[in-house]
Structure 1
Amino acid sequence: MKFFIDTANLDEIREAHELGVLDGVTTNPSLMAKVGIKGKNNIFKHYKSICDIVDGDVSAEVISTDFKGIIREGEELAEIDEKIVVKVPMIRDGVKAIKYFADKEIKTNCTLVFSAGQALLAAKAGATYVSPFVGRLDDISMDGIELIESIVSIYENYGFLTQVLAASIRHPVHILKCAEIGADVATCPLSVITSLLNHPLTDSGLKKFLADAATFTE
């Protein structure tokens, strides 16, 4: 499974990269605003800064919801760096734009996916990634993990190359469940990734090892 970090914070991206587990980054306008990045030129420069840190794909989201606008923004974003993946909403014009981008060999991430049917359409259009939102489905008492499982199964049935990028990951159990059922990518905050490091038996075992090691120098 690939680990993407869902942020626009450069310090967090560097920390995840230094940890040695970072495969890519997902961002959106809200995350840009959260770190105080505003204005088209500044946002584009920030995307470039992210691309300079990571080795893998960086999802950059369009604002437009009409076909021509999505195409215009997507082509501009793709010019920033070869690592840029154009993030497109799961709407009619979004699916049309994904087909256009696929024909132009521009990578795409179809976002705001909440059903297997939507994921099927995105794959048919040629999306590089599809982003089902696990946590948001859980919030309305639906099973986000079950959706991931359905999409993985459908893609395997027909040999779709679209990668399943599990989004809206809230805790480490989400990551592990997605890994168990074959999601290609999990994108989440750095804190969720680093929580996988923790186990009380690791802490107690290390404490004992260090205590025993201290007796060697006495």
Structure 2
Amino acid sequence: MSKLAQLKSMTTVVADTGDFASILDYQPQDATTNPSLLYKAAQMPPYRELVEDAVLFGMNRGGEDSLARARWTMDKLAVNFGVEILKIVPGRVSTEIDARLSFDSDATLRRAEELVKLYQEAGIDPTERVLFKIASTWEGIRAAQALERRGIHCNLTLLFGFAQAVACADAGVTLISPFVGRILDWYKKAENVAGYPSDEDPGVRSVTRIYNYYKRHDYQTVVMGASFRTLEEILELAGCDYLTIAPALLGELASAEGDLPRKLDPEKALAMDIPRVSLDEASFRWDLNEEAMATEKLAEGIRLFAADTRKLEQFAHEVCQHS
């Protein structure tokens, strides 16, 4: 039995891509997208029709307002890809809310409501089949808390620090995405090392800590490790609730043989002596500030997603010009 098949027996495997062909190859339960993935996928000839449809939709909804046209185009494009992905996966797709709204709870709520309507217009029940991805800022977590109370489920992304994980669980969000590989990147640069033994990988240790804390205190929030750099990182997190994995690493898992032991176990976590943590806004901001890696990677991640959103907007504009 391949290691991918063994992993699926203990962890929900999610495809981290916007490329439908890659999703078909590995039959994951769910799929995730983000501006970077959509930017890559939108440039592929097979998906040109989805881009052109979004551009036309944006022109009709936005009218003469260029900013409104761009916003509606981006939202429709995200939904177009989401709808197509949902024809392939049996579970849910994660759709990103504009990272430029990461520090505005009210604007995040409004954008989520617009996306909900677009999915409904496309015949998809977003409360059953969509997770809305929001950056794990204080403002993003508050927006997610409000959405969850309305039955709209969220995936809190760009999560690097323990304080973010605690606040997300206390807010009752459906799922969090700790970024394993980006945590590793930071520590390799900060400590000037080529790498770490797989069980000492800082990203792996971060997700393990969060997983054990959640299980020990009976939080229902799902832990989904994300942003993997190596096969070994994935294997060290076997047993995690969910893992979202890029197609290249899914391929490695599918071709790898040998036993895959479970590393994360809820029963073992229940027996651990892990004190419960309580955070208000001030203590959240302080704890995040004290963790340089989390502070820097959160800010960088928001900038990168915003930059790729702008690239996607420019690409859509060029498609419009040539249509």
Is structure 2 residue 152 aligned with structure 1 residue 106? yes
Alignment check: 8 A CA contact 1:77 1:84 kept? no
Equivalent residue number for residue 59 of structure 1: 94
Equivalent residue number for residue 136 of structure 2: 90
Alignment check: 8 A CA contact 2:78 2:95 kept? no
Equivalent residue number for residue 211 of structure 1: none
Output one character per residue of 1:152-207: Cα deviation in whole Å (capped at 9) or x when no partner. 1110121000010001112221111111xx42111111120121233489xxxxxx
Aligned ranges 1:179-194 → 2 under 5 Å: 179=238, 182-194=239-251
Give the Å deviation of 1:13: 1.5
Runs of 5+ in structure 1 lacking a partner? Answer: 202-218
2:229 aligned residue (163, 170, 189): 170
Equivalent residue number for residue 212 of structure 2: 153
| Letter paired with 1:57 | R
Q: Which has the higher contact order (CA 8 A, sep 6+)?
A: 2
2:186 aligned residue (140, 143, 146): 140
Q: Cα 1:30–1:199, aligned 2, differ >3 Å: closer, same or farther? A: closer
TM-score (normalizing by structure 1): 0.84
Give the Å deviation of 1:14: 1.9
Equivalent residue number for residue 207 of structure 1: none
Give the Å deviation of 1:95: 0.9
Which sits farther off after the overlay, 42-51 or 165-174? 42-51
TM-score (normalizing by structure 2): 0.57
Output one character per residue of 1:50-88: Cα deviation in whole Å (capped at 9) or x when no partner. 112111111101002211211112123334133110001
| Letter paired with 2:78 | I
| Letter paired with 2:254 | L
* Rounded Cα–Cα distance in structure 1 between residues aligned with 2:13 and 2:256: 20
Normalized per residue, the structure richer in helix is: 2
Alignment check: 8 A CA contact 1:169 1:186 kept? no
Tell me, what secondary structure is at the counterpart of 1:4?
A: strand
Which sits farther off after the overlay, 53-62 or 79-88? 79-88
Structure 1 moving runs of 4+ over 4 Å? none
| Letter paired with 1:51 | L
Is structure 2 residue 198 aligned with structure 1 residue 198? no
Percent of residue pairs bearing the same amino acid type: 30
Q: How many residues align?
A: 195
Normalized per residue, the structure richer in strand is: 1
Alignment check: 8 A CA contact 1:5 1:190 kept? yes
Alignment check: 8 A CA contact 1:170 1:188 kept? no
Equivalent residue number for residue 35 of structure 2: 29
2:18 aligned residue (3, 8, 13): 8
* Rounded Cα–Cα distance in structure 2 between residues aligned with 1:89 and 1:159: 24
Equivalent residue number for residue 212 of structure 1: none
| Letter paired with 2:136 | M
1:69 aligned residue (89, 104, 107): 107
Is structure 2 residue 83 aligned with structure 1 residue 48? yes
